[in-house]
Structure 1
Amino acid sequence: MFDKLLIANRGEIACRVIKTARRMGIPTVALYSDADRNALHVSMADEAVHIGPPPANQSYIVIDKVMDAIRQTGATAVHPGYGFLSENPKFAEALEAEGVAFVGPPKGAIEAMGDKITSKKIAADAGVSTVPGHMGLIEDAEEAVRISEEIGFPVMLKASAGGGGKGMRIAWSADEVAEGFRASKSEAASSFGDDRMFIEKFVTQPRHIEIQVLCDQHGNGVYLGERECSIQRRNQKVVEEAPSPFLDEATRKAMGEQAVALAHAVGYSSAGTVEFIVDGDRNFYFLEMNTRLQVEHPVTELITGVDLVEHMIRVAAGEKLSMTQEDVSLTGWAIESRLYAEDPYREFLPSIGRLTRYRPPAETRAYEPGTAAGAAGSPVIRNDTGVYEGGEISMYYDPMIAKLCTWAETREAAIDAMADALDSFEVEGIGHNLPFLSAVMDHPKFRAGDMTTAFIAEEYPDGFAGVRLPDARLEEIAAATAAMHRVAEIRRTRVSGRMDNHERVVGDDWIVSMAGHDTDVRFETRIRADRDGADVTVGEHTFRVESAWTPGDSTARVKIDGEVIALKVEKIVQGFRIRHGGAELRVHVRTPRQAELAALMPVKVPPDTSKMLLCPMPGLIVRIDVAQGDEVQEGQALAVIEAMKMENVLRAERKGKVSAIKAAAGDSLAVDAVIMEFE
């Protein structure tokens, strides 16, 4: 086995690899840029080496710098994680020349499968179904338009060396092809150092299903079931699950056998993923092969009990697989939600800053390699993360904060466990997508397994504006918050030294205002002696409310008529800010007289910013596309801003004339900074 393992990556995947290496008794080396000096993966590793400035193209993906770190530390093996250098054949070649083991596939397999054009040709030769498209390289936007018109719209523009949604665009017209080709080419060059592009037919109403394969250097290979990755935004996966609710056993077997055959065709060894697009009739088409560990690998580990990182290390050390296909079994169901530093209320734009609060739900059971989660019986929570409370979310890297996973014996139970875990997850200081993830868990289509990769576009065509909870749940929250407020009021009167008999000070009648509704709340009976329960009447319904919540707690688990709901709680004047089930609620709990007076208070009018282009996220101005005095049309590109490795085009919302330009290319701007003004 290896004497020392260097992880050529950062964040949660570096932490994930370190955990397995530590259990295997292998010392680890972390790399860090200036921005990651205090990162979690640095403190977890046995050694750490500084590798350069924050931009990845000046640090993490500079092969010479990584090789220098290997020589400094005497590492005998390198795990690349995902992204960065994980699918760079030149890096694998450099390691081979240095005599250092690469915990990944052979260079030839990376070259064959890492190039999407070559991989499709190999897949076709191996008898794998492929999506129609243009397999040659495209030189410029004009050629891209001509090819797209021959294939037929819509088309998918893809970077040949791409991954993780970078360098990818869906185009529905010639204009969108021309613009998207240039943006994708630029993103690809920035993220991968390779701007080659190709085009394929975009399959409408598709499901994204991938097969996990594991092969050794001795010709053995297995597939470990599939993952469904259909909940995507801008081609970036958001929610994954294993197995897929759509596949039957025959399709699973056919896809798995084709995936292993493809791996054997290129002499593949290590863990890898073969991605397919599956239509409504379960016809499947090869999409690409990722010659690395996937972000969503934990759900496969939870249903199979196979530690993929451990097997990657053992395969790289020359060991044979310890299992055959007959040994692989799928137990229960696992869901993964990707927690991103993105504001769903601002079109999912990236958010950066300090994590003033980061409290994930407690992991109910640590992952034990070799044991399927099913052995636990009750639901399992797993959280793979690379951040901590007080840490910084940087603009230089991917916005993913954590991967929250749940396992249960059935899909419904796994979703229920995920919904509860999301409601219990505390993140403050930055924008995040927890409300959106909660909304997905409760969405009828997702619950029914009836979704495609167009799910977000179809269900949230105007963006995400939060969730309107059912009236029954609003009543339960009214009961819970009224009880919590009364507890806080009793505490306040006692601390202030007011009357000993708090029942004479704290009344029973309250008005709970939230979600645009006023609800009369009346306590019909006394609070129990231990003060953790009450009968609360909301309108015509009476609920039994029990909770151990005390004033100052930032979360509450409230049992209402025997059902436990989780609430994220923040105290505000005369009430709380509550997050639950994808809804963000300002809940005011007032006496009838207070409510009467509150209704007379004027509403503050927000400032008029309609004649300004504001920066929607912290980022770097790539270019300004207009000049002072220009007449602009609705939808016209005004500026391009880069944040977290993605370029975003800012467009005019209406016709107008530019009266002033307040920013220039190269400027680093904060949220809502003024970029330009209009007459």
Structure 2
Amino acid sequence: MFKKILIANRGEIACRVIKTARRMGIATVAIHSDADRSALHVRMADEAVHIGPAPANQSYIVIDRVMQAIRDTGAEAVHPGYGFLSENPRFAEALAAEGVAFIGPPVGAIEAMGDKITSKKLAAEAGVSTVPGHMGLIEDADEAARIAAGIGYPVMIKASAGGGGKGMRIAWNDDEAREGFQSSKNEAASSFGDDRIFIEKFVTQPRHIEIQVLADGHGNCIYLGERECSIQRRNQKVIEEAPSPFLDPETRARMGEQAVALAQAVGYTSAGTVEFIVDGDRNFYFLEMNTRLQVEHPVTELITGVDLVEQMIRVAAGEKLALGQDDVTLTGWAIESRLYAEDPYRGFLPSTGRLTRYRPPAETAAGPMVASGKWVGQDDGASPVGEDAAIRNDTGVFEGGEISIYYDPMIAKLCTWAPDRAQAIEAMRVALDAFEIEGIGHNLPFLSAVMDHPRFVSGEITTAFIAEEYPDGFAGVTPDETARRRIAAAVAAMARVGEIRRARISGRMDNHERTVGDDWVVSIAGALLPVTIAADRDGATVRFEDGTTHRVASDWRPGQPLARLDVDGAPLILKVGKITGGYRVRSRGADLDVRVYTPRQAELLAHMPEKSDADTSRMLLCPMPGLVVRLHVGEGDEVQQGQALCTIEAMKMENILRAERRGTVARINAAEGDSLAVDAVILEFE
């Protein structure tokens, strides 16, 4: 077995590999750029080597610099994680030339399956059902439009060397095909150093289901069930689960057998994933094979008890698989929510900055991963989800750390396991409620909203779920009447606790607490709700005007950002921030300003003028921190609704900003190459 391995990656996946290596008694080496000098993976590793400036194309994907780090530290093997150099055959060849083991598949398999054009041809030759498309190289945008029209719209334009949703566009007509081709080509060149593009038929109403395979160098290959990855945004997976709520045992077996056959056909070893698109009749079509560890691998580990990173290391060391296909069992249900530094209220645009607060829920152990002795989380305290469920949080950040513009915006992968799907969803709801993140925009509210969405709960999902259910973007959740009443009662009781504290500090309070009244008015979601609070040592009873009551109990104290309450015997977790006259409250995807007034204050409130927002209708504002890649217009130009005005690159994704209506450009305040902050004025209209 290896004594020292280098992780040629960063962030949460580097931390994940370090955890398993540490359990196996293997020393680890981290590499880092200027931006990652204080990163979590650097802190966790036994050694760390600086390899260059912040941009990945000057550090993490520069093979010579990584190779020098290997030589300097004497690492015997390299785990590439995912992204960066994980599917780069030149990197694997460089390692082989140095006599260093690559913890991944052989170069031939990477070349055959890592290239999406080649992999589709090989899959077709092997008899695997594939999606119709054009696998040849495409010279320019006009040729892309002709090919797309021949296949039949809609089509998917994809980078041959792509992954992670980068370099992918859906086109519904010739204009979108031309534009999508160029954007995909640019993103592919920037992210992968390979701008080749192919086009395939886009299957409407599909499910994205993938099979995890594991193979050694002795002819053994197995599959470890499937993962449902249909909740996607811009082709980027957001929520994954294992197993799929859609597959039956027969379809699972057929998909698994095809995945194994394809892996064996290319001499595959290590962990890999064969991705399929599945229609409503459970017909499945090969999409691609990822010759690396997948981001969503934890859900497979949680239901099988197999540590995939450990297996990759053992296979690379020449060991045989210790389990056969008959040894693989799927137990319980696991769900993964990807927490991203992106603002769901601004079209999920990337967000950067400092994590002023980062408090994930306590990791707790349960299920097959624990029974196998391969748990890679931590037991950090009392479980917020009960003894029969587990929480695992794979992360590469910490409180006080920075989310950089240079890399993927992922903050963490929050996973839950439970005996069945309903319990796993409920555990995820609680875990998301208890996850505290401040300082940057993040998608926690959206993830919470999905967990409560009837369509997700039913399992009737497709890759179009987000586009269909949130066609105008995400504007938060509006709680129903019952939920609003529970929150109003909880905040009223909390406000009373705060008022008692203020009265005591000011000296207005006698021993009997007589100076704090019982009658209050709660302002929530545009409604004023008069309430009466009757408090005792065990909590408070909040009575509304119609006579209904809610019993509230909690040990919350003013200043605590997380309130764990009991309302009528049911738990309620609120993220709490103080605002004038009340609290900003976030729960289950809802973001509410809840204020508590005295009856007299509520009476006077009707006479208060409302503050109007500043008029920015004649400005194009930068919606995210990013780099100006291209200005499509000049001063004095007349523009039409929908016309491209500016292209902004953020976290390696290109975003085209368009005119909302007709107008004339009066002034341009930015130049190509400028780095802009959120809401910076790019240009102004007459």
TM-score of the superposition, structure 1-length normalised? 0.98
Range with greater deviation from structure 2 (452-461 or 126-135): 126-135
Shift of the alpha carbon at 1:499?
3.0
Shift of the alpha carbon at 1:365?
2.3
Please show how residues 53-452 of structure 1 align to structure 2 within 5 Å: 53-365=53-365, 368=370, 370-371=372-373, 378-452=388-462
Q: Does the alignment pair 1:678 with 2:682?
A: no
CA distance in 2, matches of 1:332, 1:671: 43
Range with greater deviation from structure 2 (238-247 or 597-606): 597-606
CA distance in 2, matches of 1:500, 1:447: 51
Q: Give the residue type in structure 1 aligned to 2:2.
A: F
CA distance in 2, matches of 1:516, 1:419: 26
CA distance in 1, matches of 2:413, 2:75: 28
CA distance in 2, matches of 1:589, 1:571: 12
Q: Which runs of 5+ in 2 are unaligned?
A: 376-385
Please show how residues 538-549 of structure 1 align to structure 2 within 5 Å: 538-539=544-545, 540-549=547-556
Deviations 1:36-92 (A, max 9, x none): 011000000000000101110010000000001000100000000000000000100
Asked whether the 8 Å contact 2:637–2:664 carries over to 1, the reply is yes
Q: Does the alignment pair 1:19 with 2:45?
A: no
SS of the residue 2:31 aligns to: strand
1:658 counterpart residue number: 665
Please show how residues 617-656 of structure 1 align to structure 2 within 5 Å: 617-656=624-663
Deviations 1:208-246 (A, max 9, x none): 000011110101011111000000000000000000000
CA distance in 2, matches of 1:226, 1:359: 31
Shift of the alpha carbon at 1:518?
1.3
CA distance in 2, matches of 1:502, 1:624: 68
Q: Give the residue type in structure 1 aligned to 2:610.
A: V
CA distance in 2, matches of 1:54, 1:237: 25
Shift of the alpha carbon at 1:545?
1.0
CA distance in 2, matches of 1:383, 1:226: 21
Match of 1:475 among 482, 485, 494: 485
2:379 counterpart residue number: none
Q: Give the residue type in structure 2 aligned to 1:197.
A: I
Change (3 A) 1:674 1:502: farther
Q: Give the residue type in structure 2 aligned to 1:85.
A: L
Count how many residue pairs are aligned between Structure 1 and Structure 2.
673
Shift of the alpha carbon at 1:492?
1.6
Q: Does the alignment pair 1:560 with 2:567?
A: yes
Asked whether the 8 Å contact 1:75–1:100 carries over to 2, the reply is yes
Asked whether the 8 Å contact 1:612–1:678 carries over to 2, the reply is yes
Q: Does the alignment pair 1:580 with 2:587?
A: yes
CA distance in 2, matches of 1:584, 1:194: 42
CA distance in 1, matches of 2:603, 2:255: 65
CA distance in 2, matches of 1:133, 1:189: 22
Shift of the alpha carbon at 1:3?
1.7
Q: Give the residue type in structure 2 aligned to 1:16.
A: R
Q: Give the residue type in structure 1 aligned to 2:676.
A: L
Shift of the alpha carbon at 1:126?
1.8
Shift of the alpha carbon at 1:372?
8.3
Change (3 A) 1:256 1:377: farther
CA distance in 2, matches of 1:502, 1:640: 64
CA distance in 2, matches of 1:502, 1:383: 46
Shift of the alpha carbon at 1:397?
0.3
Q: Does the alignment pair 1:493 with 2:499?
A: no
CA distance in 2, matches of 1:538, 1:76: 69
Q: Give the residue type in structure 2 aligned to 1:304.
A: T
SS of the residue 1:405 aligns to: strand
Shift of the alpha carbon at 1:123?
1.1
Change (3 A) 1:399 1:502: farther
1:40 counterpart residue number: 40
Shift of the alpha carbon at 1:396?
0.3
Asked whether the 8 Å contact 2:500–2:509 carries over to 1, the reply is no
CA distance in 2, matches of 1:634, 1:11: 40
Asked whether the 8 Å contact 2:520–2:598 carries over to 1, the reply is yes
Asked whether the 8 Å contact 2:307–2:374 carries over to 1, the reply is no
Asked whether the 8 Å contact 1:527–1:534 carries over to 2, the reply is yes
CA distance in 1, matches of 2:191, 2:121: 25
Shift of the alpha carbon at 1:414?
0.6
Q: Does the alignment pair 1:527 with 2:536?
A: yes
SS of the residue 2:314 aligns to: helix
SS of the residue 2:536 aligns to: coil
Match of 1:590 among 572, 592, 597: 597
Shift of the alpha carbon at 1:368?
4.1
Shift of the alpha carbon at 1:184?
0.3
1:668 counterpart residue number: 675
CA distance in 2, matches of 1:384, 1:502: 49
2:378 counterpart residue number: none
Q: Give the residue type in structure 2 aligned to 1:419.
A: R
CA distance in 2, matches of 1:192, 1:155: 22
SS of the residue 1:601 aligns to: coil
Q: Give the residue type in structure 2 aligned to 1:527.
A: D
Shift of the alpha carbon at 1:379?
1.1
Q: Kindly, what percent of the aligned residue pairs are identical?
A: 76
Asked whether the 8 Å contact 1:377–1:408 carries over to 2, the reply is no
Deviations 1:642-672 (A, max 9, x none): 1101010010000000000100001000000
Asked whether the 8 Å contact 1:12–1:384 carries over to 2, the reply is yes
CA distance in 1, matches of 2:551, 2:558: 20
Q: Does the alignment pair 1:459 with 2:469?
A: yes
1:536 counterpart residue number: 542
1:608 counterpart residue number: 615
Q: Give the residue type in structure 2 aligned to 1:41.
A: H
SS of the residue 2:358 aligns to: strand
Shift of the alpha carbon at 1:30?
0.4
SS of the residue 1:578 aligns to: strand
Asked whether the 8 Å contact 1:490–1:502 carries over to 2, the reply is no
Deviations 1:516-560 (A, max 9, x none): 11112212x3322xxx41221234321111111111110011111
Q: Give the residue type in structure 2 aligned to 1:597.
A: L
Asked whether the 8 Å contact 1:566–1:580 carries over to 2, the reply is yes
Asked whether the 8 Å contact 1:156–1:171 carries over to 2, the reply is yes
CA distance in 2, matches of 1:630, 1:501: 73
Q: Give the residue type in structure 2 aligned to 1:526.
A: A
Q: Give the residue type in structure 2 aligned to 1:254.
A: R
Q: Give the residue type in structure 2 aligned to 1:370.
A: S
SS of the residue 1:314 aligns to: helix
Q: Give the residue type in structure 2 aligned to 1:655.
A: R
TM-score of the superposition, structure 2-length normalised? 0.97
Range with greater deviation from structure 2 (336-345 or 535-544): 535-544
Deviations 1:310-350 (A, max 9, x none): 00000000000010111100111111000000000000000
Asked whether the 8 Å contact 2:626–2:676 carries over to 1, the reply is yes
CA distance in 2, matches of 1:384, 1:161: 26
Deviations 1:382-426 (A, max 9, x none): 100000000000000000000000111111111111111111111
Asked whether the 8 Å contact 2:211–2:225 carries over to 1, the reply is yes
Shift of the alpha carbon at 1:377?
5.8
